[in-house]
Amino acid sequence: MSVNPSPAPPLRDARIVILGGGPSGLAVARLLQARGVPALVLERDAGPHARTQGGSLDLTEDGGQHAVREMGLQDEFTALSRPHGQTLRILDTAARTLLDIDQTDFEKSRPEIDRITLRQILLDALPGGTVRWSTTVTGLTPLPGRGYRVELPDGTGVDADLVIGCDGIGSCARPLRTPVRPTYCGVTFIRGDIARPDPASFVARRVGEGSMFAIGVNKAVLAQRNGDGSIHVYVALRTDEDPSRSRGSAVRDEEKLLAELHALLDGWSPEIHAILDQADGGFSYWPLHTVPTHQEWSPHRGLTLVGDAAHVMPPFTGQGVNMALLDALELVDALTGRPSDIDGAIASYEAAMLHRMAGVVAEANAAGDHLLSADGPAALLSDFGATA
């Protein structure tokens, strides 16, 4: 027997559950809270410092920075961000500098901030108890009439009138909106860290306060400075097979991996090889995924997606977090602009978001083709109006 859908409660009376306590989920919570609407965030991490949270992010003026201003957190962001993090050196396989870019070469400001730092700014702006830590969501079950039971591993659940999926590429909410899953885009990053780089080392001098790209044919070694002085290192490879599917995400035999990487970089400068040997271990695989540029979602009441859960893309344009924060702002604007029509607000948000993201995803995929090219660094240099 079918159950007639119940009308949505007004926004202020709705039980709102946000899946995921990353930047996008916390941004949604902060924006709702600032407008007098409480929400509960469910996060699987044991606490805010459970893991490193990844590398540095650059926030654009009309993307992430715009959302930060709307959250009332501009001063906190300005105090902890790094404008000099925009610097970039592009090298060839012989370690020769082909292009040296600093923040004055960019038309608009894109200061860097560590992901963990941005997360802490957002957490500090939320009332205590907003985030429920150590909470893994195993699924969503529609309730009779309206709403969802957010299922937890112990068999209990949290009932919600509105679920906002901010839980990344493996979102348990996404299958309710579309059968299309993110797909591997043919590029894998192997990442590690240099916790305390020697200031006189080649990598520290070339990275400076920003980033360094050493580019070969369909492969690259990337290095990025973090706010604590450490350096993230990534070996980017174009490969048809996602190695994490057979090997797992964490690297178990690091000596074997290093030997494989050195072999892949055969003929490259010894200074670039040395970057890999300076990493402190803890290597992991990061296969990159994307979604179709034009997505079709099925209508669904009281449920929507934000950030990577909605539109994961390769990180080559740095737009992932910017679009996620913009999603959060546009969703909350829609909800609070139509507080008696949650489903209408969601439909309006999604139509605009999916239209906006079509071009952004296409640009990210194209940027990856330029970074990892059969022509080596030439394609990327052309983006900056330069040649090798």
**Is residue 124 a part of any domain in this protein?**
yes
Q: Out of 39-53, 77-91, 219-233, 290-304, pick the least confident.
A: 39-53
**Is residue 98 a part of any domain in this protein?**
no
Nearest to 125 by CA among 74, 87, 51, 169: 74
The model's pLDDT over 137-164, given as tens digits with 9 standing for 90+, comes to 999 999 998 999 999 999 999 999 999 9
The model's pLDDT over 200-222, given as tens digits with 9 standing for 90+, comes to 999 999 999 999 999 999 999 99
Identify whether residues 225 and 150 lie together within a single domain: no
In sequence order, what DSSP letters do the residues of 10-67 get, joined into one string?
A: PGGGS-EEEE--SHHHHHHHHHHHHTT---EEE--SSSTTSS---SEEE--TTTHHHH
Identify whether residues 211 and 318 lie together within a single domain: no
Identify whether residues 284 and 167 lie together within a single domain: no
- CATH code for position 277: 3.30.9.30
Residue numbering of the annotated binding site for NADPH:
51
Identify whether residues 177 and 188 lie together within a single domain: no
Return the pLDDT at 278. Answer: 96
Bridge partners (DSSP) listed for residue 158: 150
Identify whether residues 170 and 236 lie together within a single domain: no
Do residues 76 and 55 make contact, with C-beta atoms less than 8 angstroms apart? no
Domain of 209, in residue numbers:
184-290+376-383
- Number of structural domains found in the chain: 2
Identify whether residues 132 and 71 lie together within a single domain: yes
**Is residue 2 a part of any domain in this protein?**
no
**Is residue 90 a part of any domain in this protein?**
no
Identify whether residues 64 and 174 lie together within a single domain: yes
**Is residue 145 a part of any domain in this protein?**
yes
**Is residue 268 a part of any domain in this protein?**
yes
The model's pLDDT over 126-143, given as tens digits with 9 standing for 90+, comes to 999 999 999 999 999 999
Return the pLDDT at 53. Answer: 61
Identify whether residues 285 and 305 lie together within a single domain: no
Identify whether residues 264 and 358 lie together within a single domain: no
The model's pLDDT over 321-344, given as tens digits with 9 standing for 90+, comes to 999 999 999 999 999 999 999 999
CB atoms within 10 A of CB 279: 24
- Which residue type occupies 43? E
Rg (CA), the chain: 22
**Is residue 299 a part of any domain in this protein?**
yes
The model's pLDDT over 21-60, given as tens digits with 9 standing for 90+, comes to 999 999 999 999 999 999 999 999 998 887 766 678 999 9
- CATH code for position 75: 3.50.50.60
Residue numbering of the annotated binding site:
51, 58, 115, 308
Identify whether residues 173 and 302 lie together within a single domain: yes
The per-residue pLDDT of the chain, averaged, comes to 93
Identify whether residues 41 and 169 lie together within a single domain: yes
Tokens representing 84 are 């000099």
Cα–Cα distance for residue pair 86/108, rounded to 1 Å? 11
Identify whether residues 212 and 158 lie together within a single domain: no
CB atoms within 10 A of CB 281: 10
Label residue 351 by pLDDT band (50, 70, 90): very high
Residue numbering of the annotated binding site for FAD:
58, 115, 308
Nearest to 133 by CA among 241, 14, 25: 25
**Is residue 388 a part of any domain in this protein?**
no
The model's pLDDT over 64-81, given as tens digits with 9 standing for 90+, comes to 999 999 999 999 999 999
CB atoms within 10 A of CB 174: 24
